[in-house]
């Protein structure tokens, strides 16, 4: 494994069209443009990452799964997502979704 890492030292996955490494701002712009092209507007790379980590937590993923996907260095950073999902589950639990008052017919959003 170490030999593979050493052999690829200096390797850049997302290079510019000139074969150079992208700057932080350049990579951010590249990801934002790709997201817009995919139909995801108004999301920065950080916003996309946070959205994904929140989705993992809300689907019941563990803090360790969030750490693995998000690259967090400490468990406490990842646990913030699971705590928020747990609080949301308490407020908007399954019984809330099944309640007729909260059904689509009583939503304040109107279908077009």
Question: Which residue has 């693995």 as its token pair?
Answer: 68
pTM, full prediction: 0.58
Residuewise pLDDT in 10s, the chain (112 residues):
556 555 555 666 677 778 788 888 888 888 888 888 988 888 888 888 888 999 999 898 999 999 999 888 889 888 888 888 888 776 776 555 555 554 555 444 444 4
E runs forming strands in the chain: none
Question: Given this model, what pLDDT does residue 93 score?
Answer: 63
Beta-carbon contacts of residue 58 (< 8 Å; ≥ 6 apart): 85, 88, 89
């Amino acid at each position: 494994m170490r030999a593979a890492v050493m052999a690829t030292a200096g390797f850049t996955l997302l290079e510019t069209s000139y074969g150079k490494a992208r700057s932080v701002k350049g990579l951010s712009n590249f990801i934002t443009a790709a997201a817009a092209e995919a139909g995801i507007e108004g999301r920065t790379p950080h916003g996309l990452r946070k959205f994904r980590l929140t989705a993992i937590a809300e689907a019941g993923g563990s803090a360790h799964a969030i750490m693995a996907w998000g690259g967090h260095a400490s468990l406490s950073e990842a646990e913030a997502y699971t705590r928020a999902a747990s609080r949301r589950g308490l407020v908007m639990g399954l019984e809330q979704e099944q309640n007729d008052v909260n059904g689509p017919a009583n939503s304040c959003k109107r279908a077009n």
